[in-house]
Amino acid sequence: MTALTLSTAAAPGLRADAIVIGVAKGTKGPVVAPGAEAVDTAYDGGLAGVLETLGASGAEGEVTKVPAPSGFKAPLVVAVGLGAQPEKDAEYGAEALRRAAGAAARALSGTKKAAFALPLTDAADAGVIAEGALLGAYSFDTYKENGKDARNGKAPLAEAVLLGGRPRDKAYKAAVERAVAVAEELNRARDLVNTPPNDLNPASFAAIAQGAAKDHGLKVQVLDEKALAKGGYGGILGVGSGSAAGPRLVKLSYTHSKAKKHLALVGKGITYDSGGISLKPAGHNETMKCDMSGAAAVFAAVVAAARLGLEVNVTGWLALAENMPSGSATRPGDVLRMYSGKTVEVLNTDAEGRLVLADALWAASQEKPDAIVDVATLTGAMVLALGNRTFGIMANDEAFRSAIHEAAEEVGEEAWPMPLPEHLRKGMDSPTADIANMGERMGGGLVAGLFLREFIGEGITWAHLDIAGPAFNEQGPFGYTPKGGTGSGVRTLVRLAELTAAGDLG
């Protein structure tokens, strides 16, 4: 991963391969942002004009490269767009800085060392710029010859130096250390999502979790097929019954001696989703290795909480299965007895995520945590409703739903609160079982949320994040977001854990 340092050095005298500066979109053309004063001075105050001549406007994510001025030890200046120039006396937003740093880091793949001279006024700015650079430099190269960047055959940016940072200041150091921990774990989640399903199945995912638990002092429990059968986890077993790779339920626990609250996180971990007997058509199954993104997010968030030493107990539940068709697979019309004791009529085997989550949610409820949050690539309906970059939030408590929405916005994740309309519950009534796994087609994302609510213990605050849209980016990279697995939900979950530890959430 990209190395990160803080420096008080001036841009002209720093030995690096490139100097990254910010440029904003002003009313009369591009405007050089604070942090780049020394660079602009070396151009006799004409850097904005040079950039405009080259077609730069300051639009968000725009990258323009120019030769460094005489006297600079770095040969290249990289101007990255910050978007609209803030109003007078206003500062650049955290997400604008994060995205600019990410776009620059991605554009500098193949570079050994880059100095970032972006607007930096305090430790919080240092943290978001560091996070953006680390996330933007990400590359999944496990299956590439010689470990080269999948985008252009070049290695990721090796080192990022944050100019204007204060390496001896405790607040700056803490902000950067947090950024490193969160970014490294988020990138671990991306790696998991990008790993092909012939290498990542429930057992291998569980083994990775066990390894991380050993590294970070976490407690881990893995239930295999025999333990799941003995415990009566009919949902997880039913989904995994068609695959030669058996299902797993992983419990990953981080505890702190001073913790006063307990947060439970539950992740959907379908390591490959063919749809089962209700087989997905061609064009809808090629990226279904990403159907374990929720479990990856939960896993990453628990490890990040441990690395940050948060004063909160966090338990992660990874509901892992592979949904495949075979002679032993669950059929439409089958009835499963869930861990809670409820029975579910399976009308569509491609609505499997809610079945594995139901067992894990009930298991989490037995510990009576202060709150449960589940994360899942659950429904295509949510993608239709909110698009590819926004996840939906449903909850049994409006204040909790609002708190999660605010946390997501704070860390730069696009999210939107969604309702749980009671009239949609009737559509899941079954003449055979307690409930069906399908209901009305319209509002399918909300129906799924209502189904999950049936498996939350009485009196427990709960929220559901449907990350089906943003979990896997099939378009081109943007900002600090790569093509492929994105790590959606990780930063929101970590922020929730921080707020809970601080006593600011519930």
* Dist. CA 339–CA 233, nearest whole Å: 4
Task: Please report the pLDDT score of residue 89 as a whole number.
Answer: 81
Place of tokens 């999660």: 404
pLDDT of residue 379: 97
d(CA 182, CA 301): 8
Residue 173 and residue 60: Cα distance in Å, rounded?
Answer: 28
Q: Exposed, middle or buried by CB within 10 Å (0-12, 13-18, 19+), for 344?
A: buried
Low-confidence ranges of the chain (pLDDT < 70): 146-153, 506
CA distance to 11, 62, 86, per residue, from 494 (Å):
34, 29, 29
Which residues are designated catalytic?
280, 354
Query: Which residues are CB-neighbours of 294 under 8 A, at least 6 positions away?
Result: 266, 267, 268, 269, 353, 374, 375, 376, 377, 378, 465, 467, 471, 489
How far apart (Å, rounded) are the C-alpha atoms in residues 335 and 333? 7
Measured distance CA(79)–CA(27) in Å, rounded: 18
In contact, 350 and 329? CB cutoff 8 Å: no
**Using one digit for the tens of pLDDT, what is the confidence trace for 240-254?**
999 999 999 999 999
Ordered DSSP codes for 70-118: TT-SSSEEEEEEEEEPPPTTPPPPHHHHHHHHHHHHHHTTT-SEEEEE-
> What is the C-alpha to C-alpha distance for residues 126 and 23, in angstroms, rounded to an integer?
18
Cα-Cα-Cα-Cα dihedral of 319, 324, 329, 334, to 10°? Answer: 70
pLDDT score, position 152: 59
SS3 463: strand
How much of the chain exceeds pLDDT 90, in percent? 95
Q: What's the pTM value of the predicted model, to 2 decimals?
A: 0.97
pLDDT for 134: 98
SS3 track for 20-77: EEEEEEECCEEEECCCCHHHHHHCCCCHHHHHHHCCCCCCCCCEEEEECCCCCCCCEE
